[in-house]
Amino acid sequence: MSKKPVGHKARKRFGQNFLQDQSVIQRIMGAIHAKPDDALVEIGPGLGALTEELLSSAGHLDAIELDRDLVPILRTKFFRYGDQFRIHEADAMKFDYTQLCQDSKRLRIVGNLPYNISTQLIFHLLNHHQYIADMHFMLQKEVVERLAAGPGEKNYGRLSIMAQYYCQVDNLFIVPPEAFDPVPKVDSAIVRLRPFEKLPYEAESVEQLQQVVRTAFNQRRKTLRNNLKELISAESLETLDINPSERPERLTLQAFIRISDHITQAKKD
């Protein structure tokens, strides 16, 4: 198990909960299946519990850590790897991931993401989807359920649709609070996101699709007719074979793309 260095205390403002259960770490490593030729990136390595296993498997790693007090601890702990362990003291929300792409290799990103920024960070990474082979994240269980939810499920919404537009989403397994120090008040889960090399359903304008989805779910208990009335008429929805009286959580990704493309075409006419 990973032990905290003397004097280091998990910081609430960074959403720090350090993974320390070795059986969970091994299960995560089994899901990642890291290999020596992988372009591995770890977001928020914390005290290096997962970092140690990733370096043992792949022999090299780029790590992004915001907490400046942890950076020297990690550098000392993994000193033996020399240039094969590169730590970037940076905010993962603002980091330019393209700088880590070498030899046309797509990145394999891993992270125990802070609950307070996980959704925004995933949206940020989706903007770099063409550079990413896969992502394995520890997230609040509810966030993983939202990522993986399908039409008609209570957790289905904006995050589900936009994540599934870009990626195959796999809800892998639950991690109990006791696996962390300090112990969080919620369950966590591991999710795998695999960006499609070719999008199975492609909108004419991703920006327009994002606006449609965001607007549709602003008041999720209201109908499409009410939520989308500033963007598209009820009559136009019917021509697209979409019931204006339906609630947004009943619509598939393909249906949202049909709405988006209709609006995009109407703007061109």
User: How does pLDDT run across 216-260, given as a tens digit for each residue?
Assistant: 999 888 999 999 999 999 999 999 999 999 999 999 999 999 999
Domains within the chain, CATH numbers bracketed: 12-195 (3.40.50.150), 206-268 (1.10.8.100)
> Which pTM was predicted?
0.88
pLDDT > 60? residue 6: no
d(CA 196, CA 175): 27
Mention every residue, 6+ apart, whose C-beta is less than 8 A from residue 262: 232, 236, 240
pLDDT > 50? residue 3: no
Helix (H, G, I), strand (E, B) or coil at 253: helix
Listed residue (109, 142, 106, 89) closest to 40, CA to CA: 109
Q: Percentage of the chain with pLDDT > 70?
A: 93
**What is the reported pLDDT for 186?**
81
Q: Helix 141-148 to helix 158-166 angle, to the nearest 10 degrees?
A: 60
The burial of 117, by beta-carbon neighbours within 10 Å (0-12 exposed, 13-18 middle, 19 or more buried), is given as middle
- pLDDT tens by residue, 177-204: 787 777 767 888 999 999 999 999 999 9
Residue 187 falls in which region: left (phi positive, over 0), alpha (psi -120 to 50) or beta: beta
- pLDDT tens by residue, 77-112: 999 999 999 999 999 999 999 999 887 789 999 998
Query: CB neighbours (10 Å) of residue 175?
Result: 22
Listed residue (164, 115, 165, 121) closest to 143, CA to CA: 115
Listed residue (169, 168, 253) closest to 216, CA to CA: 253
